[in-house]
């Protein structure tokens, strides 16, 4: 344990400090455009083990490896499908993770024992600076304690990681707010969506053609206890605040009426407030705003000691699908239709 967890800025001397810590095998909280990451040298098994310890994460859940140069894809992956190169050209740097056959240089501790590795080239300037200053690829899961909502501010990281890691780099609020889109590729090179994110199903289809994209089982449905999943992250209970979350499909008016019966808290779209005579919280008007505010809102519910909250169901297209996917997990798949 660490006596103190220091907060670093994104100024050059602090970036160098973060890079030094990482080079010496330590774990550092870093900003990315999606959510904060808990980073360590992806090639150093002992450093990577410290990530699992700090997070309390199951060892078979693989970590994403962050790079800061498109050509690094060839250093860490092999048998790269044509469509992967297309997606890299189109969406990197950005919130897209591609699962590819790993090269031997990536330790099994990092890949959760799999022969594949998830690679991502983040767009956040501070993340890129840290990776370059460190000179190593950085393994980084979201910087929350396993099971709690992902952190979108340095303060969230501190709340979860105080005393567990030596430092956090404060790069402000994460612009996207939900974790990266994760894709893999089937034998014929078709793109399989494992986790929706800011790069949407529609964006992927535009890049490689609709016939070359499909959605994995488990993105919007619950997977059974013993069912095999393509991505280990799908089996774990995720993003859950202490509050009991319920997703409500239907109009704001219908939800307002239900809340008058239930005396529960509603979490609705900005603009819906006018229908409510009971307590309500807003989480944004557009899907983009809802993505940016989702995890912050989940943490806020717990800070306020709210025991139960009904979320107005987000759109299921574009980045809305990512919001829906995270909310489903926070709600333990409890959805009601009004
Ligand atoms: O936006 C993000 O992706 C953030 C930031 C820090 O980059 N990171 C993140 O990592 O969300 P994490 O560990 O919380 O989620 C990674 C997800 C997990 O669901 C994991 O199972 C999946 O990606 N994943 C990683 N490597 C994989 C692999 N080789 N095969 C299948 N799934 C993989
Ligand atoms: Mg996570």
The confidence score (pLDDT) of residue 236 equals: 57
DSSP line for 64-75: EEE-SSGGGHHH
What is the position in ligand 1's atom list of the atom closest to the CA of 234?
19
pLDDT over 80 (residue 233):
no
Q: Separation of 270 CA from ligand 1 center, angstroms?
A: 30
State mean pLDDT over 246-255. Answer: 97
Q: Which residues line ligand 1 at a C-beta cut-off of 6 Å?
A: 32, 34-35, 37, 61-64, 95, 97, 99, 111, 114, 116-118, 120, 140-142, 179-180, 182, 194-195, 231-233
Whole-number percent of the chain with pLDDT over 90: 88
CB distance 333 to 240 below 8 Å: no
Pocket probe for ligand 1: among 65, 182, 216, 319, the residue whose CB has the most ligand atoms within 8 Å is: 182
Q: pLDDT, tens digit, for every residue of 204-231?
A: 999 999 999 999 988 888 877 777 777 7
pLDDT tens-digit series, residues 36-62 = 999 999 999 999 999 999 998 877 889
Nearest alpha carbon to residue 185 among 77, 83, 65: 83
From 64, 110, 291, the mutation candidate for ligand 1 (largest count of ligand atoms within 8 A of CB) is 64
* Average confidence (pLDDT) over 309-330: 96
pLDDT at 238: 60
Q: In ligand 1, which atom is closest to the CA atom of 140?
A: 6
Distance CA(240)–CA(35), nearest Å, equals 16
- The number of the ligand nearest the C-alpha atom of 51 reads 1
**Which pLDDT tens digit goes with each residue over 6-40?**
999 999 999 999 999 999 999 999 999 999 999 99
Per-residue pLDDT band for 239 (boundaries 50, 70, 90) equals low
**Structure-token match 């995720």, residue found:** 238
Tell me how far apart the alpha carbons of residues 324 and 180 are, in angstroms, rounded to a whole number.
14
pLDDT value at 74 more than 80: yes
Determine what percent of the chain falls in helix, strand and coil, rounding each to the nearest 5. 35, 20, 45
Compute the distance from residue 195 Cα to the ligand 1 centre, in Å: 9
The DSSP secondary-structure symbol of 112 reads T
Q: Where are the beta strands (DSSP E) in 269-314?
A: 280-282, 308-312
Dump strand ranges (E) for the chain. Answer: 6-8, 28-30, 37-41, 64-66, 77-78, 96-102, 116-120, 138-139, 167-169, 181-185, 191-195, 213-215, 244-249, 265-268, 280-282, 308-312, 335-337
Residue 241: pLDDT band (50, 70, 90) is confident
CA of 68 to the centre of ligand 2 (A): 21
Q: pTM, whole model, 2 decimals?
A: 0.96
Is the separation of the CB atoms in 83 and 212 below 8 Å? yes
- Report how far residue 270's alpha carbon sits from residue 314's, in angstroms, rounded to the nearest whole number: 12
């Amino acid at each position: 344990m660490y006596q103190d967890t220091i907060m670093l800025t994104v100024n050059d001397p602090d970036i160098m400090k973060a890079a030094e810590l990482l080079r010496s095998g330590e774990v550092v909280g870093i900003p990315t455009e999606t959510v904060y990451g808990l980073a360590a040298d992806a090639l150093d098994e002992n450093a990577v083990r410290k990530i699992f310890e700090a997070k309390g994460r199951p060892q078979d859940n693989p970590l994403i490896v962050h790079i800061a140069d498109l050509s690094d894809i060839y250093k860490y992956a092999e048998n790269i499908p044509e469509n992967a190169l297309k997606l890299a050209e189109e969406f990197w740097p950005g919130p897209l993770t591609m699962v590819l056959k790993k090269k031997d240089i990536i330790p099994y501790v990092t890949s959760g024992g799999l022969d594949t590795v998830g690679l991502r080239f983040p767009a956040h300037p501070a993340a890129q600076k840290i990776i370059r200053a460190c000179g190593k690829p950085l393994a980084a899961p979201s910087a929350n304690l396993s099971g709690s909502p992902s952190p979108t501010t340095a303060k969230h990281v501190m709340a979860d990681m105080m005393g567990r890691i030596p430092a956090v780099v404060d790069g402000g609020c994460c612009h996207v707010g939900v974790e990266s889109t994760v894709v893999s590729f089937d034998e014929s090179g078709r793109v399989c969506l494992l986790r929706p994110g800011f790069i949407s199903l529609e964006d992927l289809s535009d890049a490689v053609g609709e016939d070359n994209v499909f959605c994995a089982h488990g993105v919007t449905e619950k997977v059974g206890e013993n069912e095999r999943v393509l991505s280990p992250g799908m089996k774990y209970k995720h993003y859950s605040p202490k509050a009991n979350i319920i997703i409500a499909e239907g109009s704001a008016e219908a939800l307002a009426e239900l809340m008058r019966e239930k005396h529960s808290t509603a979490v609705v779209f900005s603009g819906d407030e006018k229908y409510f005579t009971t307590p309500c919280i807003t989480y944004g008007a557009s899907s983009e705003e809802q993505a940016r505010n989702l995890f912050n809102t989940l943490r806020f519910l717990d800070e306020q000691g709210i025991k139960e909250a009904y979320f107005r169901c987000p759109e299921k297209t574009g980045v809305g699908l990512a919001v829906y996917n995270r909310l489903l997990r926070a709600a333990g798949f409890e959805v009601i239709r009004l």
